[in-house]
Amino acid sequence: MSLFGTNGVRGIANEELTAELALDLGRVIATLKPGKVAVACDTRISSQMLKSAVLAGIMSAGSDAIDLGVAPTPALQFYAKENRIPGVVVTASHNPREYNGIKFVQENGAEFFREMDEESERVYLSKKFRTASWSEVGRLVNDDCIQRYVNAIVETVELSKRYRVVVDCGNGASCFTSPEILRALGCEVYSINAHPDGRFPARNPEPVERELELLKKAVVDFKADFGVAHDGDADRAVFVNEKGEFVSEDAMLALMARYYVEKNNGGIVVTPVSSSRCVEDVVKKAGGEIVYTAVGSPVVAKVMMEKKAIFGGEGNGGLIFPEHLLARDGGMSIAKVLQLIDETEKKLSELIAEIPRYHMIKGKVECRNREKLLSVLRKEFPEANQIDGVRLDFEDGWILIRPSGTEPIARIYAEGRERRRAEELYNEGVRILKRALES
């Protein structure tokens, strides 16, 4: 595929992702799934322009287009699931402000799986869209997906006391949901960067630690129980503990996985091969089973569905609570962290301290021949996990070598109990990769 990446179509707005392309993608989904299609967008400057084009494309194919306005991706997905209709979300998630993206959603609320994106791309390239006659053009319907989404999350959690939480919406779509979820759960809420602004004046949409100094400070100053920050479309949530320290996303994934396995007396947890070993450690110790997938949230959701997993997620703050929605959900992540703190009566820093610590190093090396690298590595390491690239597991760590599908690079991940071991494994990964490229 050339157009669709791991998470739909992405590009710089009005250069790569144009109104024409958005129009055609609206026609694609309405051609594949006639009837009704729901559409929402994030707060980016280009989002309303692209959403309007998607809506027009859907209607031109004879389907009704439901405009849900600005909403988090999981809110659109929850609407799709509840109404059993497909959806489109206009967002570039965590990418910088000049970008935008278009992602398709299934009637069950999950993102399109890879084979569905492949089919979408075939329809797009063929330009064989359904075109309605003048009298059969679809209607434009306005609806809201925020309130039901917020209520559905709030209904799942009951808290025994009032917590104090700082939420950094990053001027993204979570402005409309996360402060509201926290208020409805009885929390004392302090919100920052909580007005929608597609210029993202305060920080980049990606909630990496260095962007969250204000959140860390606010948590300490307000003596909050924790802080939370979202990416642009609020399917991800990252946390800051009560001391103002950033919580590693892998540790949070492990903490929540352990909680779900303990609550269910076992069960399957699904995560990509790039996730920290700490997840596998705690899942197995709690009596659960870990299943690894290729990198990317759609495949995690797909495998969760097939294996009837109780929980899953990625090591970037994307947590999936399948009883609610088969997709990453930043709003639900907040509710579940509150529930966990409430049930255990522990502080977030104490809970995180219970998760084994690993050191991970990530890097990349130039690689122009993806297929050759994969075939050499697969032959050399037949016993390795080959779900996505090649992952070599050792007693005290692992190495993952993954050639990119879209760029001329191969990514190397290495993780060890100690920093030195991680470095050793990383260097070993580079050696293996270079040897394979030269062979």
Least distance between Mg ion and beta carbon 283 (Å) = 24
Least distance between Mg ion and beta carbon 258 (Å) = 24
Of 64 and 233, CB closest to Mg ion: 233
Of 168 and 233, CB closest to Mg ion: 233
| Choice from 231, 280, 329, 415 touching Mg ion (CB under 5 A) | 231
Strands 64-70 vs 36-41: parallel, antiparallel or unpaired: parallel
Using CB under 5 A, which of the segments 143-151, 157-165, 197-205, 229-237 binds Mg ion? 229-237
Least distance between Mg ion and beta carbon 34 (Å) = 28
Centroid of chain to Cα 283 = 21
Q: Is 168 helix (H, G, I), strand (E, B) or coil?
A: strand
The residue nearest Mg ion at its CB is 93
- Residues in a beta bridge with 391: 385, 400
The verdict on 235 binding Mg ion (CB under 5 A) reads yes
The verdict on 233 binding Mg ion (CB under 5 A) reads yes
Question: Is 93 tagged catalytic?
Answer: yes
Q: Which helix (H) or strand (E) covers residue 167, if one does?
A: strand 164-168
C-alpha to C-alpha distances, 101 to 10, 14, 17, 320, 364, nearest whole angstrom:
4, 11, 7, 21, 25
Catalytic residue among 93, 120, 276, 297: 93
Q: How far apart are CA 409 and CA 120, in angstroms?
A: 26
The answer to whether 275 and 295 are in contact (CB under 8 A) is no
Count of residues that interact with Mg ion, criterion CB under 5 A: 4
Question: Hey, which residues between 298 and 337 contact Mg ion (CB under 5 A)?
Answer: none
Least distance between Mg ion and beta carbon 336 (Å) = 18
C-alpha to C-alpha distances, 198 to 23, 201, 204, 211, 233, nearest whole angstrom:
21, 8, 10, 17, 11
C-alpha to C-alpha distances, 390 to 90, 358, 394, nearest whole angstrom:
33, 20, 13
Least distance between Mg ion and beta carbon 400 (Å) = 23
Tokens found for residue 147: 């309130």
Of 197 and 280, CB closest to Mg ion: 197
Least distance between Mg ion and beta carbon 40 (Å) = 13
Of 231 and 329, CB closest to Mg ion: 231
Least distance between Mg ion and beta carbon 222 (Å) = 26
The verdict on 174 binding Mg ion (CB under 5 A) reads no
Tokens found for residue 137: 């053009």
Strand runs labelled E in 344-435: 359-366, 390-394, 397-403, 409-416
Q: What are phi and psi of 305, to 5 degrees?
A: -65, -45
Q: What sign results for the dihedral spanned by CA atoms 170, 173, 174, 176? A: positive
Using CB under 5 A, which of the segments 234-242, 376-384, 392-400, 412-420 binds Mg ion? 234-242
Least distance between Mg ion and beta carbon 233 (Å) = 4
The answer to whether 328 and 320 are in contact (CB under 8 A) is yes
Of 280 and 329, CB closest to Mg ion: 329
Of 93 and 171, CB closest to Mg ion: 93
Q: How far apart are CA 401 and CA 396, in angstroms?
A: 17
Using CB under 5 A, which of the segments 16-24, 92-100, 270-278, 406-414 binds Mg ion? 92-100
Site string for Mg ion, 189-228 (x = CB under 5 A): ----------------------------------------
Of 138 and 272, CB closest to Mg ion: 272
- Cα three-residue angle 55-56-61, rounded to 5 degrees: 100
Of 235 and 388, CB closest to Mg ion: 235
Using CB under 5 A, which of the segments 189-197, 232-240, 243-251, 426-434 binds Mg ion? 232-240
The verdict on 249 binding Mg ion (CB under 5 A) reads no
Residue showing tokens 């084979």: 115
Q: How far apart are CA 26 and CA 19, in angstroms?
A: 10
Strand runs labelled E in 35-86: 36-41, 64-70
Least distance between Mg ion and beta carbon 281 (Å) = 27
Using CB under 5 A, which of the segments 111-119, 233-241, 291-299, 421-429 binds Mg ion? 233-241
The verdict on 388 binding Mg ion (CB under 5 A) reads no
DSSP state of 137: P
Calculate Rg over the CA atoms of the chain: 22
| Choice from 46, 93, 100, 174 touching Mg ion (CB under 5 A) | 93
Of 41 and 268, CB closest to Mg ion: 41
Residue showing tokens 């996990």: 385
Residues that bind Mg ion (CB under 5 A): 93, 231, 233, 235
Residues with catalytic annotation? 93
